[in-house]
């Protein structure tokens, strides 16, 4: 995952309030419950020293945006010095409501949630019509775009074409009526393929999910990979066109397939991590990772989402990439501050253009940390 989207959260010299709140909306009492949760969190932030202007701007944002949608979800808010730095909806409610008032934002729950999604394109098609949905890498049931396609069928073809009645081209006397439907369907999917390519480019999709008519899918696959114009995978999932039930099944199947694809992507990075450990191109554990972060040598930061007994580390106000277990290891110990380990490590990674991957063990959150390096360690 590219951590560049976190950078605006670090554009302040003042302390930052981080709010993780359950904003699920499944009953008519949801608004009242959210209000009560926020009231307790506001008091907790006030007791920690948060200024009134920051508390007020947070209150205005609680439960707004995508967090107003129906269903189970959460919200993360960041604010500082009376200014809202960021508002994000989580795909699942946080395990518990929590706040932090610190020199750095508490970003681990946000990047973990984002890391469980990838941008993708979903196609529902038959031999004449199709719908193409583009989704970016955030947990939102609403697509970035939805395009409808209608190709040619046997009722709107030039009757004096190249192959005789019912054909699309010029007449040449060699028309075989059995071949005409196949030609039409292939031409439809060739035109559809261009729309799908545009959708892939729109969100920088990592995978295409497609459901519907088997033969139309085969033609689309041929057109998508023609001349190596597309290198991302195309995966067939149940469902397709044919009414609300078929399309609902398609979207549900795509969501399940995406989770499996993301898990496989995590496993690939963790396999790479294990291989690179043997060649001094990776480090395992918090302590070795800190020095690599401070030297801007981390290519991919690996953190587990299990936060029980998470330690505090020391950071620098002047040098955001520096992070250490002891203040004396920083350039200016007098200006050092303490914050949760993950918050400081993510700030360092984001400011050095490092990536992020969640560490999972058998599909469950772990507590292990490590890093894949940009170049081997020197012995």
Q: d(Cα 94, Cα 117) in Å, to the nearest integer?
A: 17
Q: What is the pLDDT of residue 175?
A: 45
Which of 3.30.1330.30, 1.20.1250.20, 3.10.20.30, 3.40.640.10 is the CATH number of 279-379? Answer: 3.30.1330.30
- Beta strands at 74-80 and 83-90: parallel, antiparallel or unpaired: antiparallel
Is CATH 3.30.565.10 correct for 120-151+177-264?
A: no
The domain segmentation of the chain, as residue ranges, is 8-105, 120-151+177-264, 279-379
**Do the two domains 120-151+177-264 and 279-379 of this chain adopt the same fold?**
no
**CA triple 222-224-230, angle to 5 deg:** 130
Q: Measured between alpha carbons, how far is residue 42 from residues 62, 68, 87, 102 in Å?
A: 11, 20, 16, 15
Q: What is the pLDDT of residue 241?
A: 82
Specify the pTM. 0.81
Whether the per-residue pLDDT at 94 is higher than 80: the answer is: yes
Q: What average pLDDT score do residues 258-281 get?
A: 91
Q: What is the pLDDT of residue 109?
A: 94
164-215 pLDDT, tens digit each? 444 444 444 454 454 466 677 778 888 999 999 999 999 999 999 999 989 8
What proportion of the chain, given as a percentage, has pLDDT over 70?
90
Q: d(Cα 120, Cα 137) in Å, to the nearest integer?
A: 8
């Amino acid at each position: 995952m590219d951590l560049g989207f976190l950078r605006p959260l670090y554009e302040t010299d003042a302390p930052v309030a981080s709010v993780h709140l359950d904003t699920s909306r499944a009953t008519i009492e949801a608004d009242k419950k959210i209000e009560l949760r926020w009231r307790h969190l506001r008091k907790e932030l006030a007791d920690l020293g948060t200024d009134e202007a920051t508390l007020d701007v947070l209150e205005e944002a609680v439960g707004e945006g995508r967090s107003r949608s129906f269903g189970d979800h959460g919200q993360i808010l960041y604010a500082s010095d009376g200014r809202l730095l960021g508002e994000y909806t989580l795909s699942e409610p946080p395990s518990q409501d929590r706040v932090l008032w610190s020199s750095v934002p508490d970003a681990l729950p946000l990047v973990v949630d984002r890391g469980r999604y990838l941008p993708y394109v979903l196609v529902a098609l038959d031999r004449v019509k199709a719908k193409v949905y583009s989704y970016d890498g955030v947990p939102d049931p609403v697509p970035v775009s939805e395009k409808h396609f209608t190709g040619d069928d046997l009722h709107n073809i030039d009757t004096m074409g190249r192959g005789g009645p019912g054909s699309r081209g010029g007449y040449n006397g060699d028309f075989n009526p059995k071949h005409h439907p196949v030609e039409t369907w292939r031409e439809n999917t060739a035109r559809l393929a261009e729309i799908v390519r545009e959708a892939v480019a729109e969100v920088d999709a990592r995978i295409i999910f497609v459901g519907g008519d088997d033969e139309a899918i085969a033609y689309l696959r041929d057109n998508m990979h023609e001349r190596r114009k597309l290198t991302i995978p195309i995966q067939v999932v149940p469902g397709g066109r044919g009414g609300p039930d078929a399309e609902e099944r398609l979207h549900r199947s795509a969501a399940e397939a995406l989770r499996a694809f993301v898990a496989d992507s995590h496993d690939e990075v963790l396999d790479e991590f294990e291989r690179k450990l043997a060649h001094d191109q990776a480090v395992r554990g918090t302590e070795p990772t800190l020095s690599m972060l401070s030297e801007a040598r981390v290519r991919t930061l690996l953190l587990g989402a299990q936060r029980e007994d998470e330690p505090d580390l020391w950071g620098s106000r002047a040098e955001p990439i520096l992070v250490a277990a002891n203040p004396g290891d920083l350039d200016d110990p007098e200006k050092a501050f303490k914050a949760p380990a993950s918050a400081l490590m993510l700030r360092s990674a984001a400011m050095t253009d490092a990536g992020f991957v969640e560490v999972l063990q058998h599909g469950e959150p772990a507590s292990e940390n490590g890093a894949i390096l940009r170049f081997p360690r020197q012995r």
